[in-house]
Structure 1
Amino acid sequence: MRLFPFSVNGKAKAWLHSQPNQSLTTWRDVETKFLARFFPPSKNTEARTAIATFAQGADEPLCEAWERYKSLLRRCPNHGFEVDLQVQTFCNGLQPQTKMILDASFGG
């Protein structure tokens, strides 16, 4: 918890300094209040929808699709998707030809 102030900047740092003394005594307090401030339910729902409906672009290479998908996951740290569901969602969002190449490269 002592290092947390060094990991934020801008609006997050201003928010942290605006918190009353001794109001953030546990990591759970920090997490709950930080997520409530910067990831409200409406923003969280929007980000979760973007993750769940991921689709590879028509001319988007696999590596760029993967980077874009990881970016969606990072934008919503409390998305709640288990790793196996994340992989399944990514694979389901790939173009059919990319899926075939990916399947072939991993032996089916």
Structure 2
Amino acid sequence: MCLLFPSTLSGAALNWFYMLNPRTINTFDSLKQAFLDHFMIQTDRLYSADDLYMLRQGEDEPLREYAARFSHEYSRCPNTDDRATFGAFKSGHRESNFRYLVHSNP
């Protein structure tokens, strides 16, 4: 199972796997625990408005998908001010007619 595990990874998870020191993990259970210890911290973290400003609409991402992704991340932000949230949402749009309308209409 340890030999097949990297074939299921991509991106940051695959980079993490290749950064492991050789011969430090002897069983699949220890590999699983090392993976969870590294990545579970990131998934349980609650966000702030500052984190929402880091979200950007992808180059080919439709507005609907960006809004859904933003909404999901916003749901992880307790006690976030609505004005800051709206500012973060607006700042993450790529150039478009919709962005112009949102920014020009208070």
TM-score by length of 2: 0.47
Give 1 or 2: higher helix fraction: 1
TM-score of the pair, normalised by structure 1: 0.46
